[in-house]
């Protein structure tokens, strides 16, 4: 498997729901010879959508990886492809895929253009500095407009979008594409099942001036990033060769200066081969991405690893999946060195050795065993004990920690219980496996009621989880109504003294702390702990215990038991007893102090706010806005797209349960909506009171020591 890395492409396909990601992936597999039958999403037969839930719903839930091969310019290229979900509830899958990919194909619908989730995935790709190639799909649909999509990519996403091809005709007259680089026209035969289903011909006469105009715009744009092309452009634009244009576009794409845009219709088998050529031409290989940087956990200094099989091995685990036949699979991207199956590696999070029993190359949910992986590969490993999403595994003699991933907090919860006693153990195992697979899915037990609460990113997310519990794990459950994951916060800063004293005969317990408690500084999440104790009034060894006590107490707020997300504690002073004081005393003291002090610091409940976008025919705009206002929504923007209106609003999640059904009723099924999490904000006092009562909480006052 030792090979030149310049012939490898690690790419992902990302887009809004229904832009055609999975259909495009299926066509790529067919035309690269990986599959011999085209799997259709609408028939529930797509190779990449292998989960029963995906096939039934026609949506992608889990990102599937596969490897295909493509010949370009008589060279044999390997493409490691990941098909990602478009639905915002499964944003974690997009996040972790983009973290390990070298390039992405951003797919847009030629009718829907740049949609809300397109913007979200685009921002995720920018965060991990992933170069992008844009592919405008569905050119055969009524209302398709290629240049309007290019314009929106520039305006909404702020990218320098440069068309490298133009469509010949559109809607039902869409016949093929013109390659602006080579000035060739490709005419497709959609009935043909051959791997080459097109013929190359002359550019239609009616398009000649348009082709010339857009070609000179393309050369002009890339000339900014290439001096030799700039010179030739002014002297004689026709002297610029194809190879020079390709090399200049490639360089500018990898530097994220431009985004090349091509078009096609995946469903009608038009433009896929050109897309594959463009992936090879313009998206980076592991070598182009350069060296990977990480921190040596022993020295805390930065280290560099080259994308080279000779360097010490390091890789990042970006996903854990459970397979009924082989058990737990860890999907990993190798950044440097070589990993043989059966060898031992170091997990830098747990600082323990792990044995990798077997390695597999993945094709959707099928595993093909391989003997080893090298830098630049994506594979799956089995046989480990404790590996989680975001772990770095590396050569035990050369430890390194790579940048991990950040995941959003869950926003919606659901109380569940097993129907029978014998399902109880099964439920615990199943929930453990599912939360291991998905970092945005959490399980906790309500201390007051003893209920199991599962939390996720949206109603659909929890719906899929419950469905998987029944089908995969055979656990029958009863479920309650969905609940919003509120948070708590304090608004004012106060000073407080807490003394903890306990005498039971023999050695007692004693701790005394004076501190300030209040809202954390802007942009800080979690506990912001500042130690200002002078003169050893509290011994140094006890200070971490105070911090630990406050941190633990933040899991349950004083109003309704919800988590406190950010808090600032400044430890000013205190005292200790030479015999009775110990670490535990100070930890208990800090917990009690939190309970006593927070009610005085003006505590509030915060609720999650969602960004909602509704696309509706003009006739229903008034009804839609009226309904959003009723749901405490704030309209932020109104826009037009064709003959439809786009209403953007910020709406509390608590008001959005079952919104899709109501919207369909209001608009006779003609409007569509999408939502994603925006931020947390303070809940109005009258509603906060309801939430507190519902949680069985009560406002804590100074005299109330019960907790």
DSSP character string of 557-610: -TTTSPPB-EEEEEEEEEE--TTT--HHHHHHHHHHHHHHHGGGG-EEEEEEEE
Burial 350-375 (b: 16+ CB within 10 A, else e): eeeebebebbbbbbbbebeeeebbbb
Nearest residue to 472 via CA among 128, 53, 6: 53
CB 101 within 8 A of CB 12: yes
473: Cβ–Cβ under 8 A, 6 or more apart, which residues? 426, 427, 429, 430, 433
Dist. CA 612–CA 596, nearest whole Å:
39
| pLDDT confidence tier of residue 559, bands split at 50, 70 and 90 | confident
What is the per-residue pLDDT across 118-138, written as a single tens digit (0 to 9) for each?
A: 877 887 788 888 899 999 998
Average pLDDT, the chain: 82
What is the per-residue pLDDT across 278-332, written as a single tens digit (0 to 9) for each?
A: 999 899 888 887 788 888 887 878 888 888 888 888 888 887 777 767 777 888 8
More confident residue, 312 or 59: 312
Alpha-carbon Rg for the chain in angstroms? 29
Dist. CA 454–CA 452, nearest whole Å:
7
pTM for the predicted model, two decimal places: 0.70
What is the per-residue pLDDT across 156-173, written as a single tens digit (0 to 9) for each?
A: 888 889 999 999 887 788
Q: Would the pLDDT of 703 be above 50?
A: no
What mean pLDDT do residues 417-441 have? 82
Nearest residue to 25 via CA among 69, 72, 84: 84
Residue whose pair of structure tokens reads 């972790």 in the numeric block: 96
Full DSSP string of 309-336:
TTSPPEEEEEEEEEETTTEEEEEEEEEE
Dist. CA 289–CA 336, nearest whole Å:
12
What mean pLDDT do residues 526-540 have? 86
Q: Would the pLDDT of 526 be above 80?
A: yes
| pLDDT confidence tier of residue 79, bands split at 50, 70 and 90 | confident
pLDDT over 90 for what percent of the chain? 13
113 class by beta-carbon count within 10 Å (0-12 exposed, 13-18 middle, 19+ buried): buried
**What element of type H or E holds 401?**
strand 401-402
279: Cβ–Cβ under 8 A, 6 or more apart, which residues? 9, 11, 70, 79, 103, 105, 133
**What element of type H or E holds 514?**
strand 509-518
340: Cβ–Cβ under 8 A, 6 or more apart, which residues? 371, 372
| pLDDT confidence tier of residue 34, bands split at 50, 70 and 90 | low
What mean pLDDT do residues 426-442 have? 83
């Amino acid at each position: 498997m030792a090979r030149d890395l310049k012939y490898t492409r690690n790419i992902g396909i990302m887009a809004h729901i229904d832009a055609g990601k999975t259909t495009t992936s299926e066509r790529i597999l067919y035309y690269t010879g990986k599959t011999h039958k085209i799997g259709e999403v609408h028939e529930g037969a797509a190779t990449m959508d292998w989960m029963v839930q995906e096939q039934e719903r026609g949506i992608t839930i889990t990102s599937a990886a596969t490897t295909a091969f493509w010949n370009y310019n008589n060279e044999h290229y390997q493409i490691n492809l990941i098909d990602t979900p478009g639905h915002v509830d499964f944003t974690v899958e997009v996040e972790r895929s983009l973290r390990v990919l070298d390039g992405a194909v951003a797919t847009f619908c030629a009718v829907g253009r740049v949609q809300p989730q397109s913007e979200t995935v685009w921002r995720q790709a920018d965060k991990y500095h992933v170069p992008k190639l844009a592919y405008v799909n569905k050119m055969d649909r009524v209302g398709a407009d290629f240049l309007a999509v290019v314009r929106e990519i520039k305006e909404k996403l702020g990218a320098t979008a440069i068309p490298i091809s133009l469509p010949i005709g559109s809607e039902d007259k869409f016949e093929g594409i013109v390659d602006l680089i080579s000035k060739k026209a490709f005419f497709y035969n959609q009935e043909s099942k051959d791997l080459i289903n097109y013929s190359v011909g002359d550019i239609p006469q009616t398009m000649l001036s348009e082709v010339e105009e857009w070609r000179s715009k393309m050369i002009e744009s890339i000339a900014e990033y290439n001096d030799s092309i700039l010179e030739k452009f002014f002297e004689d634009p026709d002297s610029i060769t194809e190879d020079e244009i390709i090399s200049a576009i490639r360089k500018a794409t990898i530097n994220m200066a431009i985004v090349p845009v091509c078009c096609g219709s995946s469903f009608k088998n038009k433009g896929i081969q050109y897309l594959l050529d463009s992936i090879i031409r313009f998206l980076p290989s592991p070598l182009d991405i350069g060296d990977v940087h990480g921190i040596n956990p022993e020295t805390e200094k930065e280290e560099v690893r080259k994308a080279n099989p000779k360097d010490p091995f390091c890789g990042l685990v970006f996903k854990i999946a459970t397979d009924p036949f082989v058990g737990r699979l860890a999907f990993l991207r190798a950044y440097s060195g070589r990993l043989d199956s059966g060898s031992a590696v170091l997990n830098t999070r747990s600082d323990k050795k792990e044995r990798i029993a077997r390695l597999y190359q993945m094709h959707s949910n099928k595993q093909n065993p391989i003997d080893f992986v090298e830098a630049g590969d994506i594979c799956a490993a089995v046989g480990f004990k404790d590996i989680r999403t975001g772990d770095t595994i590396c050569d035990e003699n050369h430890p390194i920690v790579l940048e991990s991933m950040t995941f959003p907090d869950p926003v919606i919860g659901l109380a569940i219980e097993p129907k029978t006693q014998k399902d109880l153990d099964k439920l615990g195992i199943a929930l453990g496996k599912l939360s291991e697979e998905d970092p945005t899915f959490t399980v906790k037990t309500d201390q007051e009621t003893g209920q199991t609460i599962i939390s996720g990113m949206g109603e659909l997310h929890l719906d899929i989880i419950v469905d998987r519990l029944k089908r995969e794990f055979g656990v029958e459950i009863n479920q309650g109504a969905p609940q919003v994951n509120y948070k708590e916060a304090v608004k004012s800063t106060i000073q407080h003294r807490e003394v903890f004293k306990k005498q039971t005969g023999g050695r007692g317990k004693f701790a005394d702390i004076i501190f300030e408690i209040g809202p954390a500084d802007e942009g800080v999440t979690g506990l912001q702990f500042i130690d200002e104790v002078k003169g050893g009034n509290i011994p140094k060894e006890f200070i971490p215990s105070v911090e630990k006590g406050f941190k633990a107490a933040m899991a349950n707020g004083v109003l309704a038991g919800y988590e406190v997300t950010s808090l600032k504690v400044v430890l000013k002073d205190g005292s200790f007893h030479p015999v009775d004081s110990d670490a535990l005393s100070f930890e208990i003291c800090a917990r009690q102090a939190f309970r006593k002090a927070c009610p005085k610091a003006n505590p509030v409940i915060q609720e999650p706010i969602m960004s909602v976008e509704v696309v509706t025919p003009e006739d229903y705009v008034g009804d839609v806005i009226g309904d959003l206002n009723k749901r405490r929504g704030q309209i932020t923007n109104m826009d037009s797209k064709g003959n439809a209106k786009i209403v953007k609003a910020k709406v509390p999640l608590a008001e959005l349960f079952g919104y899709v059904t109501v919207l369909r009723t209001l608009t006779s099924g003609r409007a569509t909506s999408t939502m994603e999490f925006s931020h947390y904000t303070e809940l109005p006092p009258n509603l906060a009171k309801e939430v507190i009562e519902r949680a069985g909480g009560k406002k804590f006052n100074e005299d109330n020591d019960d907790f």
